[in-house]
Amino acid sequence: MAQNFPSFFVISLTIFMFSSIVESRSRARMYLQLQCRSAIYPDLCVETLLPYVSKNGLPSPQTLAQISLATCLSKARFTNTYLNMVVKKLNETETSENYQAIEQCLRQINDGVNQITQSFKELQKIGKDGDEKFIWHESNVQTWVSAALTDAITCLDGLLTDETSKRELAMIKARFLNVKQLASNSLMMFSRFTTRYRASRGIKNPEILS
pLDDT per residue over 38-56, tens digit each? 999 999 999 999 988 865 5
Q: Per DSSP, which regions of the chain are E strands?
A: none
Phi-psi region of 127 (alpha: psi -120 to 50; beta: other; left: phi over 0): left
Q: What percent of the chain has pLDDT over 70?
A: 80
pLDDT of residue 163: 57
CA 128/CA 111 separation, integer angstroms: 27
pLDDT of residue 124: 92
- The string of DSSP codes covering 24-58 is HHHHHHHHHHHHTTTSSSHHHHHHHHGGG--TT-P
CA 6/CA 134 separation, integer angstroms: 58
Domains of the chain: 4-205 (1.20.140.40)
Angle between helices 61-92 and 4-35 (to 10 degrees): 80
Q: pTM of the entire structure?
A: 0.83
Residue 67's pLDDT band (cuts 50, 70, 90): very high
CA 205/CA 95 separation, integer angstroms: 51
pLDDT above 80 (res 9): no
pLDDT above 90 (res 153): yes
Residue 32's pLDDT band (cuts 50, 70, 90): very high
pLDDT of residue 44: 96
pLDDT above 90 (res 200): no
pLDDT above 80 (res 15): no
Residue 10's pLDDT band (cuts 50, 70, 90): very low
Taking the alpha carbons at both ends of the chain, their separation in whole angstroms is 80
Residue 94's pLDDT band (cuts 50, 70, 90): low
The SS3 of residue 91 is helix
pLDDT of residue 168: 82
Residues 130-156 have a mean pLDDT of 93
pLDDT of residue 1: 47
Nearest to 172 by CA among 91, 97, 84: 84
pLDDT of residue 210: 37
pLDDT above 90 (res 206): no
